[in-house]
Chains A and B, each alone.
Chain A
Amino acid sequence: MTGGNASGRQETAAPFAIELRGISKAFGPVQANKDISIQVAKGSIHGIIGENGAGKSTLMSILYGFYKADAGEVLINGQPTAIPDSQAAIRAGIGMVFQHFKLVQNFSVLENVILGAEDGALLRPSLAKARKVLAELAEEYELEVEPDAVIEELSVGHQQRVEILKALYRHADILILDEPTGVLTPAEADHLFRILRNLKEQGKTVILITHKLREIMEITDTVSVMRRGEMTATVRTAGTSPEELAELMVGRKVLLHVPKEEAKPGRTVLEVKDLRVRDDDGVERLKGIDLTIRAGEILGIAGVAGNGQTELLEVLGGIADGTGSIVLNGESLDLTGKFSDGQSRRRQGISHVPEDRQHLGMIMDFTAWENTAFGYHHDPAYQKNRWLMDNDAILEDTKGKMERFDVRPPIPTLQAKSFSGGNQQKIILAREIERNPDLLLVGQPTRGVDIGAIEFIHKRIVELRDAGKAVLLVSVELDEIMSLSDRIAVMFDGRIMGERDPRTTNERELGLLMAGVSGEAAA
């Protein structure tokens, strides 16, 4: 089947590259996939979109042999094919690029590519062959990667290319990509899309799993929408709209952009001057940040992940130490870490919704109510007496918060890890927003969050602004920054490259600033 690529395109009557018939899969009481049927034409890009937990990943895991379907069958190129494990999937011509790459960090690109696909006990012939194949693939698909580079020295975008090369080296005709752009810069994402288009032109079939409507609209030919384990629709991309897809995903009408009134900025809440932060290795990650946020406005920080946004949030939130000055409500904050920590910042009126909610924002093994007290466990309202905490009071408080923030299921005794990403985020937001802070720090508020929950979360952030609070929003999603912010500051390499007005700027201009092209040149 590997040799048949070129001819395969001409046979328009050819069978589908992949056909799923009535796939069902249950995990205990949870029906992850229910009677799913899809047909993907050869040489096309097919999108699968759905909220977290809709069953996209389960379906792809069945296709890649990680799970066994309870019912249904898989047809590859018209042939019923059993896929008991990933080896069988590879033999059937399926390649998978996971969201979290499966690369050996200290191996070279070549070594990673041949890993598990060596031709014999001696590596030299395999490596030589791979070098040749890689050169051809690079030529053909714009998949340039330095073959001798060590993985850990490559950028994320290049690591992803290695994953694609691995699949192609194993003669994959069908390439499945799971949330491939989550970690990429806009430029890297554009390059990835060019690669995917090249693959399509060479007759390969691509399945793109994503929750980003924009990507679906930009690159796919057909799109399937999943909701709660069911396939709700399969449509031609050209004949649909983002609004329609969103509605199909969520099951109701969704506002993709939260309407908001003109900002009415008041007094200065936060004033940051020449803020510098070094990491544990002594590398300067913040190289002199100046910014102000006034009451009743949202300052959005745009930028590619890793340009100092994390450090900015951490030093403001009292987790990291730095130098320079931070003045909150006219009072100078301690930056040395000697007299300050997350607790003291909270007392001074800063709430912090961290970027990494699973490692920073909450304890996954703790229950929802334990997480509601997290960071506020010294609150007098949560104490029974001098020695003991009042767990019942926290439980009661959590019940109310879960109700007001529409956390589902509203069971305070459930462990945090049992909730979906969106509901975890709502638990954190409820905790931080209901403290009525003067300044809310919020990082990646909707990363890994369902569309329905995104709308809710955006509304809450805007509400807080309208209540006269200052908000610092950090996000790598330009859409989010553009629609929520009253002012946008772009960060690059630990500096603020420039500030823009969301009403007058555009993605191109911001993209240039994010890439480090200086403000004057971009304007």
Chain B
Amino acid sequence: MTRLPRWADVVLVPLISLLLAGIISALVILAIGQSPREALSTMVTGSVGSAYAWGYTLYYATSFMFTGLAVTVAFHGSLFNIGGEGQAQLGGLGVALVCLALPWPHWTLALPVAMVAGALFGAAWAALPAYLQARRGSHIVITTIMFNYIGAALIIYLLVNVLRPAGQMDPATARFPAGAALPTLHDLPILNLIFDKKIPANVTLFVALFACWLVWLLLWRTRLGYEIRAFGKSEPAALYAGISPFKVTMLAMLVSGALAGLMSINNVMGESGRLLQNSSEGAGFIGIAVALMGRNHPIGVFLAAILFGMLYQGGAEIGLWTSIPIELRTVVQGLVILFTGALDHMVRMMLGVFFRPRRTEVA
């Protein structure tokens, strides 16, 4: 197979994959007797057509960045962390406990502590599967999936029996104090000129961008990142170099879990202001697609997170404004994941035909 030039590999392949996903999605919409044109225009206007729409898209993208980074870090150590969902929900528990513990005077004080708690709880939820993998050889895919269910059950138990304020009917914590509320982009100076309506995107977006940069530093500029990548490529070689598989597996998964846990400052602290059940709403799983599409690189994760934010928000708009059912959002997302993640090898092969050198004299 012809090797593609780097730009084609990084830019063209995802774009064509997206296009193919779009075409199939259009066919599906046609098949249920609706107009793909209307769906597309609703989706685009609803997700990026206005500052208000961006406010939602960026909110979702922020969550996806964290979970995408979580998958990325583990993946470089050849660990497939499917447990972002559970780790994010546990992170939410940590955030909620911190926010409810004190009558926080200002969000700048609450945020760092909530971040530490979210990261710690997320990491703790990844620690046991990591330990079982490193010491016992239990496959991390299986254990992290199991921990998603255990995590969800644990949260529901705690919400119903421990954290629910007396007299409240729904399984959720009390509302966080006002001093723990994060400002949205609408609340910030200068940015409020652009985002002139109330939107959910909040300062966590900047934390996510910072996290992208930190993950890049970690993977390509630190000894730990070097060891994670070396271990991920070849375990025997890592042993030869004196890299401890146990240490690398544990640390990669702890960082991964911490990143997934950090997601909850966006939704739990930033948006809902209290801990609900199923707070992560599938973002942990979307993180897998985001990492796949983003080629396990922070820049790719950033771009893919925005795209999935658009799909998520645009899909919701379709459900709201057209007679196309909202479930179609899941179909479109599924197709995007299928084409960008699973079938991108196919696109690469098709493109390879065009990049095959025709005349050898040229070289």
A: which residues have CB within 8 A of B? 26, 28-31, 70, 317-319, 341-346, 352, 354, 356, 359-366, 370, 373-375, 377-378, 383, 387-389, 391
Residue B15 at the A interface, CB < 8 A?
A: no
Judge whether B6 is part of the interface by a CB distance below 8 angstroms: no
Picked from B2, B230, B360, the residue with its CB within 8 Å of the CB of A31 is B360
Flag if A389 contacts B223 (CB, 8 Å): yes
Nearest CB of B to A473, in Å: 18
29 CB < 8 A contacts A-B: A26-B360, A26-B363, A28-B357, A28-B363, A29-B357, A29-B360, A29-B363, A31-B360, A317-B240, A319-B239, A319-B240, A341-B239, A342-B240, A342-B242, A352-B240, A359-B236, A360-B234, A360-B237, A361-B237, A363-B234, A363-B237, A364-B234, A365-B233, A366-B229, A374-B230, A387-B222, A388-B222, A389-B221, A389-B223
Q: Which one of B2, B229, B230, B237 has the greatest number of beta carbons of chain A within 10 Å?
A: B237
Q: Which residues of B contact A374 (CB under 8 A)?
A: 230, 237, 241
Residues of A within 8 A of B236 (CB): 356, 359-360
Q: Are A362 and B222 in contact (CB under 8 A)?
A: no
Residues of A within 8 A of B220 (CB): 391
Complex: A30 Cα to B362 Cα, angstroms:
11
Specify which of A354, A364, A365, A389 is in contact with B240 (CB 8 Å cutoff). Answer: A354
- CB-CB under 8 A from B230, the residues of chain A are 363, 366, 374
B236-273 Cβ-contact flags toward A at 8 Å (1 or 0): 11011111100000000000000000000000000000
Decide: A341 near B234, CB < 8 A? Known: A377-B226, A389-B222, A389-B223. Answer: no
Given the interface pairs A375-B240, A375-B242, the reply to whether A388 lies near B221 with Cβ below 8 Å is yes
- Contact (Cβ within 8 A) A361 B242: no
Considering the complex, give the chain A residue whose CB is closest to the CB of B220: A391
Interchain Cβ contacts within 8 Å, total number: 78
The CA-CA distance from A305 to B353 in the complex, in Å, is 44
Q: Which of B203-235 contact A (CB under 8 A)?
A: 217, 220-223, 226-227, 229-230, 233-234
State A360–B237 Cα separation when bound (angstroms).
4
B244 to chain A: which residues have CB within 8 Å?
341
With contact pairs A342-B241, A359-B234, A365-B233 given, residues A377 and B223 touching in the complex (Cβ less than 8 Å): yes
Whether the Cβ atoms of B222 and A342 lie closer than 8 Å is no
Give the docked Cα–Cα distance between A22 and B175 (Å): 82
Cβ-defined partner of B242 (8 Å) among A318, A356, A362, A387: A318
Q: Which residues of chain B are near A359, meaning CB under 8 Å? A: 234, 236-237
Q: Looking across the interface, which residue of chain B has its beta carbon closest to that of A352?
A: B240
Central interface residue in B217, B221, B230, B242, by most chain A CB within 10 Å: B242
| Chain A residues within 8 Å of B239, by CB | 319, 341-342
- Inside 8 A of B363's CB, which chain A residues have their CB? 26, 28-30
Q: Are A377 and B227 in contact (CB under 8 A)?
A: yes
Indicate if the CB atoms of B233 and A366 lie closer than 8 Å: yes
Closest chain B residue, CB of each to CB of A376: B241
Cβ contact within 8 Å between B237 and A378: no
Closest residue of B by beta carbon distance from A345: B242
Query: B241 to chain A: closest CB distance in Å?
Result: 4
B80 to chain A, nearest CB (A): 18
Q: Which residue of B lies closest to A362 (CB)?
A: B237
Distance in angstroms between the alpha carbons of A378 and B227 in the assembled complex: 10
- Report the Cα distance A362→B237, complex, angstroms: 6
Minimal Cβ-Cβ distance residue in A for B2: A28
Going nearest first, the 7 A-B pairs with the smallest beta carbon separation are A29-B363, A342-B242, A343-B242, A375-B241, A341-B242, A26-B360, A360-B240
Q: Taking the nearest CB of chain B, how far is it from the CB of A416, in angstroms?
A: 10
Residue on B nearest A347 in the bound complex, by CB: B242
A-facing mask of B5-48, CB < 8 A → 1, else 0? Answer: 00000000000000000000000000000000000000000000
Cβ of B226 and Cβ of A370 under 8 Å apart? yes
Instruction: Report chain B residues within 8 Å CB of A365.
Output: 233
* Chain A residues near B222 (CB-CB < 8 A): 387-389
